[in-house]
Amino acid sequence: MIQELSYVGIGSPRSEEWRTYGTKLLGAMLASDGPDGAVRLAVDDINFRIAIHPGEEDEFRYAGWGMANETDLHAFVEHLESHGVVVHAGDPELLAEREVAELAWFEDPWGIRHELTWGKAATPLSFSTGRTMRGGFVTGDQGLGHVVFQVPDIEKANRFYVDILGFRLSDRITTKYFSVRFYHINGRHHSLALSEFPGHVGFNHLMLEVEHMDDLGRLIDLLDTRDTDVMQSLGRHTNDLMTSVYIGSPSGLQIEYGYGGLTVDDLSWVARTYGRPSYWGHKLSDVAKSRLPGIVKPIAAGA
Ligand SMILES: [Fe+2]
């Protein structure tokens, strides 16, 4: 089974801007550059978990998912292949770049690339925050955070991600305007969410959770001094109880910066349906209303 969201990678013409944005605003630590000049960020003692590759356009590149060990990875690849998923083995160059022991990758029905890995490199006591913070990020056995993708068909996506990949439904939020499903693979309420956007596929946001509310508050103060857009105001979600703000990034991707997310226990968890995403706040800004939500691309008709 997939155990954690391990890392993510995007491409962007403004990758260099993440050196400052990622450290001085988000509070991540600059890690060594990738072989292609990718800016890489650490949020804990894992050598890096976020990579921004130089590229012609803003694009989602890959999500990396951590398996417990090599036995689990091999068994899972066999399971995927038995369901008709085409799985590719990572070559030594790719393993070296991602700093993992082993890697296999595949795409979802709309070309969202997922990498299955084990043995990602870590350096104990290496992490320090990129700006002054009271604490660090909530990772550990909850992984990096969560990713939210837009998919054209939520039911078809649910079948792929649940029936084949084994993501477990935490709950749904269904309103007049959107339909989102939230999935867990560890204690974090969701490591993945899928949002229906007919005719489109996209990477809406990456959520990073801080250990102390003060570090969320300080980020909000820092926005006054930076050219970064607020996409959704401070608010608290109904389902994972996260208090968070959504901000823009140099690359179209949104970052949800949160505190106080719920953890789930599969022994007692029962999926609910909510009619609204937030108890309060999370108001869409004018900027958010004027552009596509995240790195979003139209797909070919009929896909
Ligand atoms: Fe989120």
- The per-residue pLDDT for range 189-214, each reduced to its tens digit, is 999 999 999 999 999 999 999 999 99
Our count of domains for the chain comes to 2
Nearest-angstrom CA–CA distance, 179 and 184? 17
User: From ligand 1's centre to the CA of 5, what distance in Å?
Assistant: 14
Q: What is the pLDDT of residue 177?
A: 87
Strand order through the sheet with 59-67? 29-30, 39-42, 50-54, 2-12, 59-67, 113-118, 102-107, 88-89
- The chain-wide mean pLDDT, for the chain, equals 97
User: From ligand 1's centre to the CA of 81, what distance in Å?
Assistant: 30
Residue 145 DSSP one-character state: -
User: From ligand 1's centre to the CA of 173, what distance in Å?
Assistant: 12
294-299 average pLDDT score:
96
Residue 302 in this model has a pLDDT that exceeds 60: no
**Same domain as 232, residue 94:** no
In a domain, 128, yes or no: no
User: From ligand 1's centre to the CA of 175, what distance in Å?
Assistant: 16
- Other Cβ atoms less than 10 A from the Cβ of 138: the count is 22
Domain span holding position 216: 140-298
**Same domain as 167, residue 83:** no
pLDDT in tens, 240-267: 999 999 999 999 999 999 999 999 999 9
CATH value at residue 65: 3.10.180.10
User: From ligand 1's centre to the CA of 20, what distance in Å?
Assistant: 23
In a domain, 6, yes or no: yes
User: From ligand 1's centre to the CA of 157, what distance in Å?
Assistant: 18
**Same domain as 94, residue 167:** no
Q: What is the pLDDT of residue 303?
A: 56
